[in-house]
Structures are given as structure tokens and as C-alpha cells.
Amino acid sequence: MTKDRIDRRFAALKAEGRAAFVAYVMAGDPDAATALEIVRGLPAAGADIIELGFPFSDPMAEGPTIQRASQRALARKMTLNGTLDIVRAFREGDQDTPVILMGYLNPLVNRGFETFAKQAHDAGVDGLIVVDCPPEEADPLSDALEAEGLALIRLASPTTDDKRLPAVIRRTSGFVYYVSVAGVTGVKSADAADVAPAVERLRKASGLPVAVGFGIRTPEQAAAVARVADAAVVGSALVDEIESAAKLNENVTEKVLLKASELAKAVRSARVGTK
């Protein structure tokens, strides 16, 4: 299982001739039970892959939206174990949708990489994205994850030049995550015209599918990216829905899944007639 689930999902989508819609939400936002409800609803809303954030006190690469989500989750005592519990509960009803955990290194250092990798595998996690773990520092984590069949998804960015590319894609598996803007999450907007050549370069160098994220907020942007990339990742726009629905005492799960389905629809219809 595990990273095979990612490979199978991308192979199936390739056969369908469309890109994946990757939805990001934070474990424990607005609380553990609602986050689980949201994650359980995401596949039916059209999410092909789920990225589940695990909170960290100092999320240096996040914009204000996900910083606040992190703080909400920590205020509700969300932990690494709590995050794995959500994945385990989700897996009881879904054996096919890949789940990628996304966060920062220190909670994993604190747990110990080997212990964490075993626990993550047992819970049904398929891969990890660790923002502050560049390839230069990744070997110990890669060793632990690979031993459990989990993928360490590598990040590439607009500043990743040709000289650096081989280091970035070494030991990568699952897919490559292209951070489409130099900046934090949810602030700048990705430009599909700039994204296309970058995706092509990464695809060629890695032989893996390329997901694009960090600057996609609207269905239009998601569709534009889905035309050129293998996956479009949306995080902050979904987390904003959670925040505003919670503030207005609306049904949080309903609101965020509605938003997810709009984005999924845009991704699914992006390449119609262009294949």
C-alpha cells in the first residue's frame, strides 16, 4: 500500500486524462471531530488526494490563514498522535484516497523518525511533505519513511535552478510538489504561464507527476493550473472557508466541502476538449 496508493491514483487519473485536485486542511481545525468529518467528506466532494496539515507552533512558510489554523488546532490540543488518529479513522472508510501529511520537522524529530514512520504507516498515511527539510538534510527522514514504504514528497520552487534540480529530485517518490510562487502560502497568486515550463522541466527531470500549489485560490486558477500540471493543490482558500464559517456559526463541514466541490469541478473540467 502506502506510496503505491499515490502511484495508483496518478495512473488512474492519467488514464482519465485529467489532473488531480489536492485538498489541504489542517488537523484539528476548527476541532478534531470536525476536521475528521471534513476529511471524510473530501473524496465525495471531488478531492483526489488529501493533504492533512499537522500543526506546528512556528510555521515559517505559512501565510496568515494557515498560521491561524495552526494556532486554532494547537489551542484545541491537536497533536501528532491526534493527527494520526484522524487518518486512521478516515482509512476505516476509504482505502483508495492517498493521504499526505504536511508540516514541519521538529514534531517528527521529537518523536523519532523510525517510530513516527511506523506509526504513520500503521495509521494509513501515504507520504509526507516537510517544509523545512530540504534534500541536504533529508536522508535520515527518507531512510525511515522508505523503510515503511512512505514517500517523502520533495518541494521545488521558482528559485530551484538547473544546478540544484538533481539534488532536489534525488530519492523523491510519489510526486514532486512545485511551490509556484516565491513566498508563503495563500498570499501571492500563481501565474499559469510561468507554471507551465516549470512543470515540464520538473516532469522531465524526475519522471514523476508534478503537483502545483501555494498560489491557487479560485476555481479559475485551479483550472488554469490543471491544464498544465498533474495536480492542483488548494489550501488557504479552503482554510479560509473553515475560519469564516466557524466565525459565523455556520455548518463548517458543509461550507468547506461546497468550496472543495467547486474547485474539484474546475479541475475536472479543465482539460475537456483539449486532450
Task: Summarize as ranges the residues that interact with another protein (CB under 8 A).
Answer: 55-63, 67, 71, 74, 79-81, 104-111, 131-134, 136-137, 154-161, 164, 168, 179, 182-184, 187-188
Nearer to another protein, 57 or 244 (CB): 57
Nearer to another protein, 87 or 156 (CB): 156
Cα separation, 235 vs 38, in Å, equals: 13
Please report how close the Cβ of residue 4 comes to another protein at its closest, in angstroms. 26
25 forms bridges with which residues in the sheet?
52
Amino acid (one-letter) located at 246: A
Nearer to another protein, 74 or 258 (CB): 74
Q: Are 127 and 151 in contact (CB under 8 A)?
A: yes
62 is catalytic: yes
- Nearest Cα to Cα of residue 108 among 86, 67, 77, 137: 137
Please report how close the Cβ of residue 141 comes to another protein at its closest, in angstroms. 11
Nearer to another protein, 109 or 147 (CB): 109
37 is catalytic: no
Please report how close the Cβ of residue 182 comes to another protein at its closest, in angstroms. 5
- Nearest Cα to Cα of residue 128 among 27, 35, 54: 54
Peptide bond just before 30 cis, omega within 30 deg: yes
**Three-state DSSP string of 103-140:** ECCHHHHHHCHHHHHHHHHHHCCCEEEECCCCHHHCHH
| Catalytic site residue from 37, 62, 148, 250 | 62
What would the grid cell of residue 274 be?
483539449
Please report how close the Cβ of residue 124 comes to another protein at its closest, in angstroms. 21
| Catalytic site residue from 51, 136, 200, 241 | 51
The residues annotated with a catalytic role in the active site are 51, 62
